A = this chain, B = another copy of it.
Amino acid sequence: MALHNGGERMSYTGSARAHTNIALIKYWGKRDKELFLPMNSSLSLTLDAFYTDTTIEFSETNENDIFYLNTIRQSKPETEKLSCFLNLFRSNFDIDLKATIKSINHVPTGAGLASSASAFAALAAATRDAFNLDIDDQTLSTYARRGSGSATRSIYGGFVEWQKGTSSETSCAIPIDNAEWDIGMVIVVVNSSHKKISSRVGMERTVQTSPFYPAWLETAAADLENIKEAIYRKDFVRLGEITESNAMKMHATTLGSLPPFTYWEEGTMTAMNCVYKLREAGIPCYFTIDAGPNVKILCRKSDISTICSQLSGTFDDNQLVVSSVGDGVKHLTIT
């Protein structure tokens, strides 16, 4: 949406909402740190409860990029990250304007939900919107990827594959299924404090030192094919089994690293045991765990309240966060 301020000062404004996502087949390891090219293809579920709303205004009046997150002006280093990201658009589309970015994150902090995924997807979509750029969603996902790997998948809703591709242009997201078949998620926040080993550092150490990494890559590729087949057949149990197994394997790779490490904590084990007990009680649900201690439970949307009431015997209500399936990026009407 390009705006022209009375012919005096040129400005272009765009806005977008993007949701975060949870990987069911994990992205674990980069083959190119600059371009955020992953070692393996991954697959995620977009979540509607957690999103970032971003408006961006490119204007001749800006001497520098300015970034407000949750209405607070951000530091130079934080702003610099977004400037680098916007430079990709500026260089490809001959834009020489600086921007004011205003983002509101509707992602609970410390829940192990990657707000960087929704943030960079929203920023990419808002920028496309500002100049009405002629790029399709798939190409947009390659831009989002340059901000944060998992942002690639947040361009689309439902189940989304991030194909590792063979180049920056082909490492993109594709929508697999809208996931509108009674799918939901319960997130158990077992520890909301900052994790000791970032996913960037964890990935790097694993790729470089874990003897299990080659087997991870091989089996993640097989898991991806199998989970797409399960999604195609709407086979929830198979979907869940592959999800849980894939997460376990990702975490196995960290135990083989030198020095070994784990993202698990006491509460991680507690939540895993809750999932086993729920399954024994006949409720189909499966956990996945990212590079942190929190546990995400893939379940039937219709089972969410049952699952939460079971978990509330073990966890506080404020440790439980629920979501149904989210959409892809969309334009926000600025009011």
- Chain A contacts to B: CB under 8 angstroms: 211-212, 214-216, 218-219, 241, 244-245, 248-249, 251-253, 255-256, 258-260, 262, 264-270
Residues of B contacting A260 in the complex (Cβ-Cβ under 8 angstroms)? 244-245, 248-249
Cα of A211 to Cα of B214 in the assembled complex, Å: 9
Nearest-Cβ distance from residue A56 to partner chain B, whole angstroms:
43
Cα of A269 to Cα of B191 in the assembled complex, Å: 14
Residue of B nearest to A214 (CB): B215
Cα of A248 to Cα of B212 in the assembled complex, Å: 12
Number of identical protomers: 2
Given contacts A215-B211, A249-B211, contact A241 B270 (CB under 8 A): no
| Contact status B253-A241, CB under 8 Å | no
Q: Which of B251, B259, B268, B269 contacts A245 (CB 8 A)?
A: B259
Residues of B contacting A241 in the complex (Cβ-Cβ under 8 angstroms)? 259
| Contact status B265-A269, CB under 8 Å | yes
| Contact status A218-B211, CB under 8 Å | yes
Residue of B nearest to A222 (CB): B211
| Contact status A249-B256, CB under 8 Å | yes
| Contact status A212-B252, CB under 8 Å | yes
Residues of B contacting A256 in the complex (Cβ-Cβ under 8 angstroms)? 212, 215, 219, 248-249, 252
Cα of A218 to Cα of B212 in the assembled complex, Å: 11
Residues of B contacting A262 in the complex (Cβ-Cβ under 8 angstroms)? 248
Nearest-Cβ distance from residue A110 to partner chain B, whole angstroms:
19
Residue of B nearest to A250 (CB): B255
Report which residue of A214, A215, A218, A251 has the largest number of chain B beta carbons within 10 angstroms of its beta carbon: A215
Cα of A244 to Cα of B245 in the assembled complex, Å: 24
Residues of B contacting A212 in the complex (Cβ-Cβ under 8 angstroms)? 212, 215, 249, 252, 256
Q: Which of B218, B219, B252, B270 contacts A253 (CB 8 A)?
A: B252
Beyond A211-B216, A212-B256, A241-B259, 8 additional contacts (C-beta under 8 Å) are A211-B215, A211-B218, A214-B215, A248-B260, A248-B262, A252-B253, A252-B256, A264-B269
Residues of B contacting A245 in the complex (Cβ-Cβ under 8 angstroms)? 258-260
Given contacts A211-B218, A265-B269, A270-B266, contact A255 B252 (CB under 8 A): yes
Residue of B nearest to A196 (CB): B276
| Contact status A251-B244, CB under 8 Å | no
Residues of B contacting A266 in the complex (Cβ-Cβ under 8 angstroms)? 266-267, 269-270
Q: Which of B216, B251, B255 contacts A249 (CB 8 A)?
A: B255
Nearest-Cβ distance from residue A119 to partner chain B, whole angstroms:
31
Cα of A260 to Cα of B211 in the assembled complex, Å: 19
Cα of A253 to Cα of B218 in the assembled complex, Å: 15
Given contacts A244-B260, A251-B255, A260-B244, contact A219 B215 (CB under 8 A): no
